[in-house]
Every structure is written in C-alpha cells, then in structure tokens.
Structure 1
Amino acid sequence: METVRAAERALMARLPEGALMQRAAAGLAAACAELLGRVYGSRVVLLVGSGDNGGDALYAGARLARRGAGVTAVLLTPGRAHAGGLAALRRAGGTVATADSAAVDELVLRADLVVDGIVGIGGKGGLRPDAERLAGVVARSRAAVVAVDLPSGVDADTGEVRGAALRADLTVTFGAYKPGLLVDPAREYAGVVRLVGIGLEPPPAEAVLEALQHADVARLLPLPTGESDKYRRGVVGIAAGSARYPGAAVLAVSGALRGGAGAVRYVGPAGDAVIARFPETLVSDAGPAKAGRVQAWVVGPGAGDDAAAVAEVLEADVPVLLDADGLRLADREAVRRRTSPTLMTPHAGEAAALLGVRREEVEAARLAAVRELAAVYRATVLLKGSTTLVADFAGGPVRVNATGTPWLATAGSGDVLSGLAGSLLAAGLRAPDAGSVAAYLHGLAGRFAAQGAPTGAHDVASHIPRAWRDVRG
C-alpha cells in the first residue's frame, strides 16, 4: 500500500489542504445516498476512528445531514477524531457519541445505514476490543453497512483477516483498488466494491495485483487467419483419466476443444469414453512420448497413480499444464529444471500439500501461498478457489480473476479449466496469459451455465463459446 500512500502524498502536495478528503467524502456520500434510496429522515451512524477514514466518514456524514438524514458519529478515540470533519458534522446538525456510551448499541440497532470509518489502509491485525464489540452489534442490526476504503480489520496488502473484522455490504474505495478488496478471505468482507476516482495516479508498473477485463482478454484470445489449419492453430495433448475416473478425461477434452487450439490428442485408458463423446479427438494408447507432435500438454486430471505418464510429459520440450493427480505425482526437481513453461493449477488443498502446510493456512493467506508456490517450483501457478490467482515465478503483478460464481464448485469443473488453459497454451499464449484467460472464460461460462442455479461441469464447458463471444463482443 506504500505505492498508494506515495501517490496520495504527491497529489495532496498539488491540491489545497483538505481537497483530497473532500473529493473522497463526496463520492462516499453519493454512494451512501444511492444505497439508502431516500436520504431525508433516514438514520445514519458513523463509526469513526482516528485516521483519515474517520475524516472521510465525518465529512460524508455532514453531507447526508444537510440532506435531512439524522446522523450520529460514534467516536472510538474521541481525542483523536478528525477535527475538521467533526466540526463540519456538527455544523450540519449531526450529533456525536462515544463508543462507551450506553445509548450506542440502540443507535446502531435502529440505524438504516452504518458507515465504517474505524481503520484505514494502515491497519494490521484484527479489530481492537471496543471496535470488535461494535462490529458484533452491527452484525445483529438490519442496517446496510458501507466501508470507507476497506472494511476495518482486513489487511489491505494481502487480503488476510487475522482477527475480528467488520463485514460490509458496500465498500467505497478511493483512487485505486486495494489488494485486500480483491483477494479472499478479505474480499468476502467487502461486499460490492465501488471505486471512486479522486485524481490519484499510482504508477501502473508498481501494481501488486491485476484484474483483467473483457478488453484485455479479447486482445489475448487466439484467432485463426485465412492461412490457418488445425496444426498451425496448435495441437494440445491431454494425458488424463483412468479406469476409475474416465469422466475426467472427457471433461478435460471438452475444455480443450473449446480453447482455441486446432486439434486435441488424447492419451490414456479412457480413449473409448473420449471418442464416444468427442469423435474429433485424436486418440492414442501409446503413451505421451509416442502420441505424436503437440504444442502443449495437459497431464493429471483423474490420472490416478500413472506416474510414468506424468514423468514423460515433464520431459517434453513444450509447455505443460499440471493438474490434480499430476501435481501429486510430479517430481519437484523435474518441474524446476524444465526450460519450457509450466502451468500448475492446484486448489487450496493441493497447494497446501505441495507447500507442506495446512489447507487453512493457504486459504487464510492466498496471495502469499500462490507466490511461494511459483517461486518454489519455478512455474506459473493458478491457485483455484473463491479467489482465483495467477502468479509467475519471474515476478510481476499477481492476476486475480474477476469472473466466476460459487456454482463452479462442482465435480469436474477444474478438469474443464485445465483443458481450456492447455488449449490456450498450445495456441501460443504465455503461461500467465493462458491461465488468466482460461480462468476468465471459465468463470464467465460458469455464470452463463448456472444463472443462479446449480450446474454441472459439462454445462460449463458447453457455455465456453458463449463466454468467448461475450468477451469479443
């Protein structure tokens, strides 16, 4: 967050004193008014700490009070509240209480809107006891909750939540997205996130996270030309499935066929199931090394204990995607010494096994985990889950996926994603781009397939073309 702070200092040096806070407060007040619907007569409680977030909340509260809202500021550190904001609120007719007042709980429980201005981007660890108690009261209320810049108690840099934190329905953040608003578990506390421009210009080169949008993905999608044939578009090899899990092979192939490569070669014991569902697949039972030329391999989904196939694929001088059983069976040093790109796609449990930690540790610090995995294996790592992250061992911003739906947590969904990403690798995308684009399309396809109801992996695969057209459109 030092990049954001430096940009703020540079901007404040060019503006009249207090102008930056007034810009933030104006955007915050507008978002609160929109959420309330009717400002006049509404009951608003501001939870005010000692930092600039508290000042933003006070100035926004003054604007709401001038429009007829009944606004009360609850001061957690009365002697350190922003003096200018406090004066503005009082001039507008707002009232002030302290956190230890006996009436505070009732104020919060009767509020229509609570504005969280307790802790700013410099906060580390969970809430202090007085703030934690207030957060509990807010959770019992029926008020809508708006967080100023980010919810109090979450780590702005990492998305970690190390103790109690306040949950928001809407987070109004200023100037730039903070990593903690995009990465779980903190993202879950942020609710809907709205960015308010205040003239801040942090250097793009110093970004910690990137979130691709439609236009970014559209530029990366592989498109055939008049000179293309199935081999020039790329051939992806799929070494997946087993007698116990033939469906994994079918689903990986289904994703690969929709990923931009010109042809799919399948190698493994589920050839009959694959060819029955997708007769266009080139099927072989001779093993990866003798299957024919490919531009990328996908190995591991449903592979059981076929360590030989994994080892053969890792020796290939083409990009390789490792998933599922392939992650478990792959030799770490064999992965590290590869000179062609490697894309690993673990979920939190698999990532924990690879790092030798508990799953809960990965889920609590996803950003740190994906970076560590990429460094340890000298690979690109796509960490699946509630927040999908893509990190490359060469460094640069970690990419966070902006699409998806909880309905994607269904058996076989990851197999479709692996086939899709492998196909993009074969079509020529770099490993970070292949992982990021695949996650984006897969997430969109999941939304289209589910539309608010349960869906299956096969349905997700069938909606990839719609996601592709949506991005390009």
Structure 2
Amino acid sequence: MRYAHTVEQVRAAEDALLARLPEGALMHRAAHGLAYAVLDLLGSAYGRRVLLLVGGGNNGGDALYAGAVLARRGAAVEAWLLGETAHEGGLADLRAAGGRVGWQGRRPDLVVDGITGIGGRPGLRQDAVAALERLAGVPVVAVDTPSGVDVDTGELDGPHVRADVTITFGTHKVAHLVDPAAAACGVVQLVDLGLELPPAEVEALQPDDVAALLPRPSPDAHKYTRGVVGVRAGSEEYPGAGLLSVSGAASGLAGMVRYVGDAGVARRVRDTHPEVVGAGRVQAWVVGSGSGQHAAAELAAALRDDVPTVVDADALAHVVAPLERPAVLTPHAGELAAMLDRERAGIEARPLAHAREAAAAYGCVVLLKGRHTLVAAPDGRTRVTTTGTPWLATAGAGDVLGGLVGALLAAGLDPFDAASVGSWLHGAAATLAGSGGPLVAGQIAGAVPAVVRGLPPVG
C-alpha cells in the first residue's frame, strides 16, 4: 500500500525520530537521498550545472546539503537564496564543497526546488514566481513537494512549482496522490527515513494489495458461489452503454451475469456474450449507464432487491440521500457537481473534499472519476487510483468500470474494496490494452484477465 500522511503526522514522526538521532542526522539522510536522485536524473555530476532555489526553512537546508554532495561529485552548483534567511549549516557545507551562493545567470541543466517545505502555505511570493519564469523550460526536481501546493488537500491556490520529479521523504503526502497538486509533482520518488507513522486516511493500492483483495474461486466453487451480478443499463437511445456495462461485469470476476433491460440491447448482449442470462436472483446490481428516461425506474427496481448496487450515469440524478443500503456511486466531476449543487470547476479544484462530502451525505462509497480517481468512504477513508493512461479518457470507459465494480461486489468485496480494486484493474487493463497508444472502451474488459494473471502470487 502507498500511504499518504498529513503534515501533522509527518512532523510528529520526525520529532520522535530526531529525539533518538544525533543533531542534523535526519536532514543529512534526506539530503543524500535527494542528491543521489538528482545524480540518477542527470546521469553524472561532472561538468553539469545545478541551480538550487533556496527558501528559508529546512526544505532549503535539504537542498543546500544535497547541493554540497553534488558539488563534491564535480557539478557546478549555485544557490539562489529566495528567503530572508537560509539554513546556516547548509550554506557553510555548500561553500566548503566548492558551491557558490548566488546565480550568475548561466542556464543550468537542472533546478532544485527548495523554496518552501511541507509546512508552507499555498502559493508563492513574487520573487519566487519571477525566478521560475526566468528558468522556464529547465527540468525541475522538487524537494518533498512542489513549492506552492497545498500539501494536505492536493489543492492549488495561486502560483506553484510544476516539477518533473519530486523527491519526498519518509512517506508520501496527500498532494503526491490527489489532483490537481499531484499533476504538478511529476514522477514521485520516496526516500525512506525510517519514520514510524500512524495509519493514513489516504492511500493507493499497489499490485500486492490488489492480489490480496481480489476474490478467487475456491477449489469447490461454482457459478453461484462466485457471485451473480445483474446489469440494468442501456436503452434504445444508448444501446452501447448497456453492452459495455455487461462487458465489464462479464470479464470473469464473478460467476454469472444477468441482463435486465431493453429488448434490443438484450439481443446485442446475447450476440456478444452468449453466457449472459436474463432476470433472476443477483448478489449485486449495476444500474444507470445509458438508461436515459428509464433511469429512475431501473434504479428503483435495483434498490428493491436490497443488494449492493453500483449507481452510474443517468441513475445518479435520481439517488436520494442518504441511501439505506450498500452502494457505490460513480460520478465524474460534472455529475458530482449536480449531486452537490456546485459548479464543476469547484469540484475539479477540490476533488478530495467534495468526494468525501458526497460520501458522507449519501452514506455510501463515492468513486469520483478523474485522472487520479478517488474512492471515498463515508468515514473519510480515501483510496486514490494511480493506474491508467490519458487514452482512458474515451467514451464508454466508465460503463465498463461500473460493470467491473459490480462484479467485485457480487463476488463478495465490500463497496470500498470493490470500488478501489475495480478502479485499479480498470486503469491497469486500459494501460495494457492500449500499449502506449489509443484504445476504445471495449478493449478494456478484454484485458482484465491478463492483468489478473500478471498480479503477484498471494501467500
């Protein structure tokens, strides 16, 4: 699991560790990790020019000590001081290693962002903004988090650094996983400091976690014990949505799929998926994709069965809060804006806050689709999906996702696990199916078995 802790949690863990270490040991440990990451990025240090943008806090100290390591390896290192003060020990170490304080104006090969640390407020001072403008186009390595982002929420409020690589220490922070700040982090690399950390409310599944959570058939399993998922989706106007929802549900994660809905869609389903059957008892429903004017009736019928339900697309407009049964709501930002009576831009600016708000209001799991999809539980626990590809932004992909999540509900996962595992598999399958290029929604479900086969062995 990749955990994202808050600033308060990190500070407490650092203080506990500092009490057991010699003075300065933790900063030197962080700085050496930063320096070696920069060396990996540059390929070598000798003859390369590195510019440190240095603020007044410990973040600037990390940059200065790392700069000293690079200078000793042969890099030409300069420090542009942007704060009223700078870390004295770091300055002395940089000078002793042959680094210079002050920028002479020559364009560097790489910039190290040490302007503000995890305790900084969102936004940047004008002198920092001006410095970044002069260095536009130079690769940037951020120290811990890109300066100017809101570390605990992933939100942006004003100017900020956009990094190519972020080197973080001890643990990931919320801003590394949650957009829009996560998009400013670039590639995130973690330097282990040996911190003892409490549980985190924001986390991201990794392949080992998905392998452990995924329901697998027992030796004596049959189609009913593996779970039966029902799909109420599609209509005469939108037949493809029903077919794609069934494709996600019929990717092999559950024992049986039932389709209930438009007769024309049912014929297409039988032609494409002859294993899918009609009405009968189910352990979970998927409802809403392409249901159009029938969405309210289909949702009501699904909820009468009192089984876990995935509510998507057209059906979301008919959900009444709070829901009184386990459910996963799967809106995109526009749909969540309508559910919460907000503007879409506000949802996109504060996705974590709004996903959690909706989960609490509706009393169920909310899967907010996006570049980094968020899965929020009513108690505030949140998982972030980091699998996927930009090519996944294609019509019908969400219909497949709903079917995947519904199959996992029917197979026995609780809504939080079903939504987060389903979202992870969906992103991984899209990446595999696209192989770095375009894809269409129908390819995603077909790639799910290969993704499952490629998961690490359990036990």
Give the TM bin, normalised by the shorter chain.
over 0.9
Aligned equivalent of 1:209: 202
Tell me by how many angstroms 1:12 deviates.
Answer: 0.7
Task: Give the alignment's TM-score, normalised by structure 1.
Answer: 0.93
Counterpart mapping for 1:85-104 below 5 A: 85-97=90-102
Q: Which residue of 2 aligns with 1:254?
A: 247
CA RMSD of aligned residues (A): 1.2
**1:38-437 paired onto structure 2 within 5 Å:** 38-77=44-83, 79-97=84-102, 106-107=105-106, 110-138=107-135, 140-141=136-137, 143-203=138-198, 205=199, 207-269=200-262, 270-283=265-278, 291-306=279-294, 307-330=296-319, 332-333=320-321, 336-338=322-324, 340-395=325-380, 397-437=381-421
Question: What is residue 4 of structure 2 aligned with on the other side?
Answer: none
Q: Over residues 431-469 of structure 1, what are the superposed CA-to-partner deviations in whole Å (9 max), with x where a residue is unaligned?
A: 000001101111110000111111000111110111111
The AA in structure 2 aligned to 1:276 is: D
CA contact (8 A) 2:316 2:329 kept: yes
Moved over 2 A (4+): none
Deviation of 1:472 after TM superposition, in Å, equals 4.2
Distance in 1 of aligned mates of 2:379 and 2:152: 20
Q: Which runs of 5+ in 1 are unaligned?
A: 98-102, 284-290
Shift of 1:399: 0.5
1:282 match: secondary structure: coil
Secondary structure of the 2:162 match is: coil
Aligned AA for 2:250?
L
Q: Which letter maps to 2:179?
A: D
Q: Find the aligned partners of 2:57 and 2:382 in 1 and give their Cα distance.
A: 29
CA distance in 1, matches of 2:333, 2:93: 48
| CA-CA distance at 1:54 after TM superposition | 0.1
- 1:402 is displaced (CA, Å) by 2.3
Deviations 1:218-240 (A, max 9, x none): 11111112221111111101000
Give deviations 1:334-361, integer Å, cap 9, x for gaps.
xx241x3111111111111111111111
Letter in 1 for 2:87: H
User: Larger deviation: 370-379 or 219-228?
Assistant: 219-228
Partner of 1:100: none
Q: CA deviation at 1:137?
A: 2.1
Question: 2:226·2:411 contact (CA, 8 Å) conserved in 1?
Answer: yes
Letter matched to residue 172 of structure 1: I
> What does residue range 441-456 of structure 1 map to in structure 2 within 5 Å?
441-456=425-440
Q: Is the 8 A contact 2:323 2:364 kept in 1?
A: no
Counterpart of 1:131 in structure 2: which amino acid? A
* Number of positions where the alignment pairs a residue of Structure 1 with one of Structure 2: 448
Which residue of 24, 30, 44 corresponds with 2:30? 24
SS at match of 1:265: strand
* SS of equivalent to 1:122: coil
Check whether the contact 2:228–2:282 (CA below 8 A) recurs between aligned residues. Answer: yes
1:457 is aligned to 2:403: no
2:20 is aligned with 1:14: yes
Q: Is the 8 A contact 1:259 1:421 kept in 2?
A: no
Mapped to 2, the partners of 1:231 and 1:434 lie a distance apart of: 18
Counterparts of 1:126 and 1:387, CA distance in 2: 22
Question: Partner of 1:346: helix, strand, or coil?
Answer: coil
Percent identity between the two aligned chains: 57
- Whether 1:440 and 2:424 are equivalent positions in the alignment is yes
Closer, same or farther in 2 for the Cα pair 1:259/1:365, shift >3 Å?
A: farther
- Code of the aligned partner of 2:24: G
